[in-house]
Amino acid sequence: MLRVLIVDDERLARQALRRLLAEHPEVEIVGEAESVADALQAIEQTEPQLVFLDIELGSGDGFDLLAALERSPMIVFVTAFAEYAVEAFAVNAVDYLLKPVEPERLAEAVARAARESAAAEAPSEAVAKGVIALKTPKRTVLARPAEIVALRADGDFTHVFVADQPTLMMWRTLMHFEGVLPAPPFLRLGRSLIVNRDRLRHVETPSRETARIMLEGMDEPLTLGRAAAARLRKALGAE
């Protein structure tokens, strides 16, 4: 059962979407909201898995809502404007529906969200099978944990460095990956960095305040601050 929240500043639009979703027994509508503030409160109270989100919300927009969330549920944008599609998929939206919503397109969005929810509920099982799906708006990379070199936070996004591949930028927090990746060998060295200890090849300490590390599979070294360098030394000394 998918727990769903509807966010739209037009009452008739919320009612229309509610009627369409009533045809999907796998969906439970847990609430509605008409503004960014209302939606933030509703998400905290109802903990939906999926939000059907209008983009223009009177005093704010759907992107303001996403920026205010520390961890976002899955998002399906529902809007009358096609020009936001690129920006929507840049934040890893599940789907992008144009009003008036067609039942067939809604069914596709619900099915896609259900598949993503099922995959997210068993991250440890995915790791146990030896593969993690790293999804971006443009492509999906299937990688073994051992192929992941490092992960670096960038606001609401995470740069994922996979050995000998272009860097992936994903709309996921480091906390998400910390719950998926095995530790050891993955070490969280601070608020913004996780590294794969098994790929550590060289450590330089140009000063007491910093360190540089070379990791197999990355061309450039990573620079660590004093606290991160101390955590790394402690982890290596514990072996």
Domain CATH number, residue 55: 3.40.50.2300
Q: How confident is the model at residue 108 (pLDDT cuts 50, 70, 90)?
A: very high
Model pTM above 0.75: no
Instruction: Please indicate, yes or no, whether residues 91 and 151 belong to a single structural domain of this protein.
Output: no
Instruction: Please indicate, yes or no, whether residues 12 and 111 belong to a single structural domain of this protein.
Output: yes
Total of domains in the chain = 2
3-state secondary structure the chain: CEEEEEECCCHHHHHHHHHHHCCCCCEEEEEEECCHHHHHHHHHHHCCCEEEECCEECCEEHHHHHHHCCCCCEEEEEECCHHHHHHHHHCCCCEEEECCCCHHHHHHHHHHHHHHHHHHCCHHHHHHCCCEEEECCCCEEEECHHHEEEEEEECCEEEEEECCCCCEEECCCHHHHHHHCCCCCEEEEECCEEEEHHHEEEEECCCCCCEEEEECCCCCCEEECHHHHHHHHHHHHCC
Instruction: Please indicate, yes or no, whether residues 141 and 229 belong to a single structural domain of this protein.
Output: yes
Q: How confident is the model at residue 238 (pLDDT cuts 50, 70, 90)?
A: very low
pLDDT higher than threshold 60 for residue 87: yes
Q: What is the mean pLDDT of residues 52-57?
A: 95
Instruction: Please indicate, yes or no, whether residues 26 and 98 belong to a single structural domain of this protein.
Output: yes
- Of 63, 95, 121, the domain-final residue: 121
The boundaries of the domain holding residue 232 are 128-237
- Of 87, 121, 155, the domain-final residue: 121
Instruction: Please indicate, yes or no, whether residues 80 and 161 belong to a single structural domain of this protein.
Output: no
Q: What is the mean pLDDT of residues 212-221?
A: 87
Instruction: Please indicate, yes or no, whether residues 107 and 57 belong to a single structural domain of this protein.
Output: yes
pLDDT higher than threshold 80 for residue 136: no
